[in-house]
Amino acid sequence: MSTEQPESEKSPSADHGTTVASMFDGIAGRYDLMNLVMTWGQEPRLVRRTVQRAELPDAPVVLDLATGTGDIALEVLRSHYGAQITGADFAPEMMEVGKSRPGGDRIEWVEADAMDLPFPDETFDAVTHGYLLRNVADIPTTLAEQFRVLKPGGRTVALETSPAPDNIIKPFSTAYIKHVVPRISALITKTPEAYEYLSATTRGFKTPAQIASLLEDAGFVDVGHETHLFGTLAIHWATKPA
């Protein structure tokens, strides 16, 4: 018997999730290349820095949300011997790409909704994610789920885009995100409309200070962030009280 809800009963968040998942599945084969181009080649460094900010223990148990093709998950495996890593995403085609990467067979891949995680309470030493929060319909619910599945003392760490800060660089960074990125994506991918969406969500996303407030509202402590690429990317971290 099908468990799919009738169209009339589907929530707006479910529709949003389905749309975004389909969009990411459509760009799965070119996603890593586009991330490299969009960050001027800085994506690998930012991924390494994100994992460093997780301050993982020996042989950590880690959940990587919005894992996509597994960049952060694979970096956890590379840098932490004995790590047990679960990569979760709602875009299965993205994870299929990740499974074929070196080390992909050492990750447990799970199709899951970040707002309703299929994991018990207090399971993970850390939760990591890249570019998740701008793509969910309800950030507080998403953060509450991360808080729930973290062990006491565990950390959540996120790499996220940020709207360009008000400084001399803003006109140039905004023009790059708004006009250049979609044009580059048209050359690299067959679905440039996906990067038009990503460009719009980047420009309209919350500031690092607003994300910090949401983390505190969710119950996290030791909340902090650092910015990169002229303030257009930020790494956020927070701890579940011990």
Predicted pLDDT of residue 4:
37
| Mean pLDDT computed over 175-187 | 67
Would the pTM of this model clear 0.85, i.e. be above it? no
pLDDT per residue over 125-167, tens digit each?
A: 999 999 899 889 899 999 999 999 999 999 999 999 888 777 6
Q: How many residues does the chain have?
A: 242
- Taking alpha carbons only, the member of 158, 155, 122 closest to residue 49 is 158
Backbone angles phi, psi at 96, to 5 degrees: -60, -40
pLDDT per residue over 6-22, tens digit each?
A: 444 444 455 555 655 56
Task: Quickly tell me which residue has 């148990």 as its tokens.
Answer: 61
Q: In what order do the strands lie in the sheet with 61-65?
A: 108-111, 84-89, 61-65, 124-130, 150-161, 233-239, 221-228
Q: Are 152 and 56 in contact (CB under 8 A)?
A: no
Listed by start position, the domains of the chain span: 7-163+206-239
Backbone angles phi, psi at 20, to 5 degrees: -65, -40
Predicted pLDDT of residue 30:
57
CA dist 182 to 28, 188, 190, Å? 16, 10, 11
Q: Which CATH class is domain 7-163+206-239?
A: alpha beta
Q: In this structure, how many other beta carbons lie within 10 angstroms of the beta carbon of residue 203? A: 16
Question: How many CA atoms lie less than 13 Å away from 64 in the CB half-sphere?
Answer: 29
Q: How confident is the model at residue 187 (pLDDT cuts 50, 70, 90)?
A: low
SS3 4: coil
Predicted pLDDT of residue 109:
98
Cα torsion through 111, 238, 220, 198, rounded to 10:
-50
